[in-house]
Structure 1
Amino acid sequence: MNLDVAGVLADAWRMWKRDRDLLLAVAGFFLFLPQFAVLVLLPDPPVPAAGVSNEEAIRVWAPLMAQWLSDYGLALVGSILWAAFGALLIFVLYLRSGRPDLKNALQAASRLLLRYLLVSVLASLPIALIAVPAVGFLLIIPGIYAIGRMMLAGAAMVAEQPLGAVASVKRSIELSRGHGLAFAGIAIALLLGSRLLPEPFVALGRVLDGAPTANPVSAALLDAMAAATASLATLATILIQIALYRRLVASKGI
């Protein structure tokens, strides 16, 4: 059976149109706010110096990064957990049996958060492998394929309770069987979109932050636009994953 990508996108769009007010409220509070706070309140982490040997650059960079993590790591982890809870909450609103209201969805998401974090870590392992220096480029193609096959792990974990983290990943692989290349294409498009769309605003905000005539209001506005773009990209990714999961479960009868 061919995967109807246009139909999946249409399903996601219908969810957005029907529940736009609720989705904007959830995404604004749980996805936008932590990203905006990080951009506005936290300085950029140090990066290795260019133009010197790798060994020398790492030697200088390592203590600076350790200090940055000591100063801001807790805030960064908090923002990541807050955003992860928001993503999980959207999955629960659509995939939990009985279509819970917001209050019940919040309670369910609280109970599932630790398991969802484990699923997210497992599903992100291919991305981490691709990022490994020197050897990551060898893993790009198999890594993208693996990302696609594991893309529905979070949706499966929420919809098919009780399902553990490893079982959720296996379920995603089972659901995507026969559609590996299509899932890889969808996954890389969503991943690149979520990473690249906010970048112009982030980059321009950094320029204004460091400029002699910097305007803090303009810089904050650009940070807000970057956070909003990233939040909408994350929301679109979640809705597409929900639509994909529903279609595959309905078509396969599993």
Structure 2
Amino acid sequence: MKLTLGRVLADAWTILRREGDLVLRVAAPFLFLPNFAVQLLVAPPPALPQSTGDRAAMQAWAQAIYSWMQANAGWYLLVNLVGIYGMAALTILLIHPARPDVRTALITAARRFGRFFLAYLLMAIPISLGFWLFVLPGLYMQARLIATIPALVVEAPIGAARAVGRSWRVTRGEWWGVLGAVVLIFLAQYLIRVPLSPADSFLRSAGHENPIVLALADAVMAAAEAAYQIAILGVGIAIYRRLASNGM
């Protein structure tokens, strides 16, 4: 059966809707709240100078970026680590054959965190490189590696590198529908964040401070990011279940 965009999205929606309570119980503290906190409490990075040809302005900007990273990189790293842990626990809840409860899933994710972290790192390198070259190659790599974490859970004690290879094999020849779903989810998140990112900077500028509206804008951006991660996970689980069950 050919994987179409509609079938991929329908399968993912069925999984997430059926387990909606579990998804919210894990996503809220591990995906939404850390992102919301860092959006709200950490100042955004310095904006590029209006004239990128001004060497002095670019040097000052580079120094400002370096100082910003020194002050804030640790917070973003912490948010990413918490997010990886939350995604690992959520994957265990949604696809592990034993159907564990939340407590067991959290314990299992903690015990196997090293493998999950390595798997995310192995995925992040080609995906980030693809986004750096052009957006579409990054989305393609994400589509091909989308079943990595489900494979890591179901086929334990498989290692991170083998899980990445497993995802690549599973999606071979069936990646068009997966890529379409990834692109659609990415665009939905992007269209939400595009107007809110400059609004965040505006609401922090002198004379325009509005902490209530700022908190609302940051909450929406954090919710969009969490929804994006959950949707990608749902697609990954749906793809793994359908294709792995077909012997791929």
Seen in structure 2, the aligned counterparts of structure 1 residues 56 and 187 have a Cα distance that, compared at 3 Å, is farther
Matches within 5 A, 1:86-101: 86-101=86-101
Seen in structure 2, the aligned counterparts of structure 1 residues 194 and 168 have a Cα distance that, compared at 3 Å, is farther
Seen in structure 2, the aligned counterparts of structure 1 residues 102 and 241 have a Cα distance that, compared at 3 Å, is same
Seen in structure 2, the aligned counterparts of structure 1 residues 121 and 188 have a Cα distance that, compared at 3 Å, is farther
Q: Does the aligned pair in 2 maintain the 1:48–1:60 contact within 8 Å?
A: no
Deviation at 1:154, TM superposition (A): 1.5
Seen in structure 2, the aligned counterparts of structure 1 residues 61 and 214 have a Cα distance that, compared at 3 Å, is closer
For 1:214, what is the secondary structure of its paired residue?
A: coil
1:79 equivalenced with 2:92 (yes/no): no
Seen in structure 2, the aligned counterparts of structure 1 residues 112 and 190 have a Cα distance that, compared at 3 Å, is farther
**Which residue in the other structure is 1:39 paired with?**
39
**Which residue in the other structure is 2:172 paired with?**
177
TM superposition score normalised by structure 2? 0.89
**Which residue in the other structure is 2:211 paired with?**
216
For 1:107, what is the secondary structure of its paired residue?
A: helix
Mapped to 2, the partners of 1:235 and 1:125 lie a distance apart of: 20
CA deviation profile, 1:132-187 (whole Å, cap 9, x unmatched): 4xxx24xx555543332122111111211111121111100111111133333233
Mapped to 2, the partners of 1:74 and 1:174 lie a distance apart of: 35
* Higher mean C-alpha deviation, range 3-12 or range 18-27: 3-12
**Which residue in the other structure is 1:249 paired with?**
244
* Higher mean C-alpha deviation, range 49-58 or range 240-249: 49-58
**Which residue in the other structure is 1:105 paired with?**
105
Deviation at 1:217, TM superposition (A): 1.0
Mapped to 2, the partners of 1:143 and 1:34 lie a distance apart of: 25
Q: Does the aligned pair in 2 maintain the 1:145–1:181 contact within 8 Å?
A: no
> Which consecutive residues of structure 1, in runs of 5 or more, have no partner in the other structure?
none
Given the alignment, which residue of 183, 186, 192 partners 1:188? 183
> Which consecutive residues of structure 2, in runs of 5 or more, have no partner in the other structure?
none
1:206 equivalenced with 2:176 (yes/no): no
For 2:97, what is the secondary structure of its paired residue?
A: coil
* Higher mean C-alpha deviation, range 109-118 or range 53-62: 53-62
1:18 equivalenced with 2:13 (yes/no): no
**Which residue in the other structure is 1:61 paired with?**
61
Q: Does the aligned pair in 2 maintain the 1:195–1:230 contact within 8 Å?
A: no
Seen in structure 2, the aligned counterparts of structure 1 residues 29 and 128 have a Cα distance that, compared at 3 Å, is same
Aligned-partner residue type, residue 177 of structure 2 = A
Seen in structure 2, the aligned counterparts of structure 1 residues 33 and 44 have a Cα distance that, compared at 3 Å, is same
For 2:112, what is the secondary structure of its paired residue?
A: helix
TM superposition score normalised by structure 1? 0.87
- Bigger relative contact order, structure 1 or 2 (CA pairs below 8 A, ≥6 apart): 2
